[in-house]
């Protein structure tokens, strides 16, 4: 298969795969089939899921859009990530990270809510102001 055929195959998927979208984690704008890797969509499988399609871009370049190919593609349910998020979360347990992040944000919000009270409390020693 020559470069032209591969490029045409990739192009045939435009619309099924959005030409442009946002990274599902950080919301950065990303493009399908962009030649610069930092600008392009990185197809991600979350949480230890396995897929028949190991190398999505390579697969897309070798399989023109067809009813059967679309079915296979849709079963993979790839996430759309930017390069940075893809690399940051590669082989990491995203559910654990999401749970920890959620807990951290809640703790921080809670701490900020109680900060004035705690700060004032520290100023007092048995009801007396510490000099
Ligand atoms: Zn991102």
Boundaries of every domain in the chain: 1-89, 93-131
**87 Cα to the center of ligand 1, angstroms:** 9
> For ligand 1, a single-atom ion, which residues have Cβ within 5 Å?
23, 25-26, 28, 82, 85
What string of pLDDT tens digits covers the 131 residues of the chain? 899 999 999 999 999 999 999 999 999 999 999 999 999 999 998 766 778 898 999 999 999 999 999 999 999 999 999 999 999 998 888 999 999 999 999 999 998 888 888 888 888 866 666 56
pLDDT given for residue 91 in this prediction: 84
pLDDT for 46: 73
Please state the pTM of the whole predicted model: 0.80
| Residue 91 CA to ligand 1 centre (angstroms) | 16
DSSP string spanning 49-113?
---S-SSHHHHHHHS---HHHHHHHHHH--EEE-HHHHHHHTTS-HHHHHHHHHHHHHHHHHHHH
Which residues share a beta bridge with 125? 128
Q: What span, in angstroms and rounded, lies between the C-alpha atoms of 108 and 116? A: 14
For residue 24, report the distance from its CA to the centre of ligand 1, in Å: 7
């Amino acid at each position: 298969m020559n470069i032209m055929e591969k490029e045409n195959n990739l192009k045939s998927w435009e619309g099924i795969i959005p030409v442009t979208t946002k990274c599902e984690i950080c919301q950065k704008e990303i493009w399908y089939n962009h030649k610069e890797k930092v600008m392009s969509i990185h197809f991600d499988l979350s949480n230890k899921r396995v897929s028949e399609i190991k190398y999505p871009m390579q697969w897309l370049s070798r399989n023109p859009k067809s009813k059967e190919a679309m079915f296979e593609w849709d079963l993979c349910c790839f996430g759309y990530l930017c390069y940075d998020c893809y690399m940051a979360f590669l082989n990491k347990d995203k559910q654990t990270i999401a749970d920890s992040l959620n807990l951290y944000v809640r703790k921080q919000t809670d701490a900020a809510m109680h900060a004035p009270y705690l700060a004032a409390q520290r100023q007092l020693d048995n009801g007396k102001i510490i000099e």
